Amino acid sequence: MMLEFRWAKLAALISAVLMSGISFEVQAADRGPVQVWFTGEPAEVSDKLANLCADRQAAVVEQDEHHVLCQREVSGAKGIFAQVLLGNSYSTSPQLNIRFALLRDRKSVRVQASQWIELQMAGGQTRRTPLNNREQEDQLLNLLVGLGADENAPMAQWLPPATPDQNPVPATAKP
């Protein structure tokens, strides 16, 4: 009887995760963080990202010109499933965290974004799982592009300016 209950509970948890849209799997080919480029100064970009978080009812936990960390409680069905899979009845409510790392990249600002869900167990242990499936990364990418980011690296800024001595065809050359 007890064994049947455990299997039923396990089957219910698996189906709930599949329907919830939260991925708890580690992907075989990690693509790395979501990456975009903004024009402007790092402080301006940091403010844009902090306001993006605030507009979506997330608390801005940390902010400076090098990074922004936002946090929001995961509620509803997704919160229940995250708590069941990551914690137990004594753990804290699951928190969605998004970290934006801002890197000066010549004349633009490169932003790398990563997101994860974490909760703290009764003994103080923190459990964290990344949210890195394609759909979640695409949603984050679309938010950043909607904020004015470009998802393609500014290639022209990577190339040094051409100088006359680098020109392969001399100006006096005849065809």
pTM: 0.70
Q: Which residues pair with 113 in a beta bridge?
A: 34, 100
> Which CB contacts under 8 angstroms, 24+ apart, belong to 69-75?
69/97, 69/98, 69/99, 69/100, 70/97, 70/98, 70/99, 70/100, 71/95, 71/96, 71/97, 71/98, 72/96, 74/117
The pLDDT, as a whole number, for residue 160 is 56
Euclidean distance between CA atoms 145 and 38, whole angstroms:
9
The pLDDT, as a whole number, for residue 77 is 85
Please provide the distance, in angstroms rounded to a whole number, between the alpha carbons at the two ends of the chain. 91
Q: Going residue by residue through the chain, which has 175 residues, state the pLDDT in tens, using 9 for 90 and above.
A: 444 544 445 444 444 444 444 444 334 345 789 999 999 999 999 999 999 999 999 999 999 999 999 999 998 888 888 888 888 888 888 999 999 999 998 889 999 999 999 998 888 889 898 988 899 999 999 999 999 999 887 765 555 555 555 555 545 545 4
The pLDDT, as a whole number, for residue 162 is 54
Structure tokens at 38: 């903004």
- In Å, the largest CA–CA distance within the chain is 93
The pLDDT, as a whole number, for residue 145 is 95
The pLDDT, as a whole number, for residue 158 is 53
**What tens digit of pLDDT does each residue of 31-77 get?**
789 999 999 999 999 999 999 999 999 999 999 999 999 999 998 88
- Burial environment of residue 96 by CB neighbours within 10 A (0 to 12, 13 to 18, 19 or more): buried
Domains and CATH numbers, the chain: 33-151 (3.30.310.80)
